[in-house]
Amino acid sequence: MKETRFDNKLSSTGPVFKPLYKQVEEHVKQLIVEQRWKPGDMLPNEFQLAAELNVSQGTMRKALNSLTDTKVLMRKQGVGTFVSEHTAQNGLFRFFPIIADGKNPELPKAELLSIETQTAEASVSAALELNKKDKVIAMRRRRILNGEYCIAETIYLPHVYFKELLDMTDIPHTLYHFYQTHFNLTVHSTEDAIKADIANQSDIELLGIKKGEPVLSVQRTAHSLNGKAMEFRISRCRSDKYHYLVKLN
């Protein structure tokens, strides 16, 4: 961090009172959003942070512990506290729950089929909290595991945040780290809605399965650190050889 001091935005007044450590927690998140610290950067120690924000060391530690629990920050024993990064390994266990039956989890490759600007449909606008006439970037991909297509997905992104994506020729398989490093947007939380379905014509063509075979339809909305909806993804997953696995700790 270039500057050793930052504006103290903490306040005990407002329409809804929040405990001091929660104010500290939100302030630290906002500094990350503003790129005062970037993914992978080490934060000053808690003594320095407490002095900068004029709070007790105990309050600062409680805020940092909370941010570590929610994976905004990560601690390395004997080294320090860092802004979390969406590395491939991190993304595998947090954000990609589709696993081949009898296999260990692995990240799939992605084949980009198309990318274009669209006027958002009503369901997409609602998911991304956009106005009716707002534009989105629609990206269609197929995911590959064990040498076969397992998922067909359409990813919708607010054009206002991701317009530079249209000029890029090399879009990586793993998007969440890409969002962090190229657009300063960190996926902090996701919500998945899962339904059982049967293969439609598009599934047949894209996944090489037969009409009427079972698939999982997964609709995911991803939110950034400051609570903005930043991605809406519709995935059609074949379920003859794959399953959806979630581990809760």
Cβ contact 242:219 at 8 Å: no
How far apart are alpha carbons 206 and 137 in whole angstroms?
20
Mind listing the pLDDT tens digit of every residue in the chain (249 residues)? 344 344 555 554 455 568 888 889 888 888 887 778 888 889 999 899 999 889 999 999 999 999 998 888 889 888 889 988 776 555 555 677 888 888 888 888 999 999 999 999 999 999 999 998 899 999 999 999 888 999 999 999 999 999 999 998 889 888 988 898 889 888 988 999 999 999 999 999 999 999 899 999 999 999 998 889 999 999 999 999 898 887 765
Q: Give the predicted TM-score (pTM) of the model.
A: 0.79
Burial 206-234 (b: 16+ CB within 10 A, else e): bbebeeeeebbbbebbbbbbeeebbbbbb
What pLDDT does 63 receive?
A: 92
Residue 21 to residue 168: CA distance in whole angstroms: 41
Q: In angstroms, rounded to a whole number, what is the distance separating the alpha carbons of residues 188 and 214?
A: 31
In this predicted model, what pLDDT tens digit does every residue of 212-227 receive, in sequence order? 999 999 999 999 988 8
How far apart, in whole angstroms, are the C-alpha atoms of residue 142 and residue 153? 6
Residue 89: per-residue pLDDT:
57
Cα dihedral 89, 36, 3, 58 sign: negative
Helix, strand, or coil (residue 22): helix
Determine the Cα–Cα distance for residues 238 and 242; give it in Å rounded to an integer. Answer: 7
Q: What is the pLDDT of residues 120-168, one digit of tens each?
A: 999 999 999 999 889 999 999 999 988 899 999 999 999 999 999 999 8
**Can you give the pLDDT at residue 152?**
96
Q: How far apart are CA 66 and CA 72, in angstroms?
A: 9
CA distance 51 to 74: 21
Query: What is the pLDDT at residue 135?
Result: 96
What are the chain's domains? 20-83 (1.10.10.10), 88-244 (3.40.1410.10)
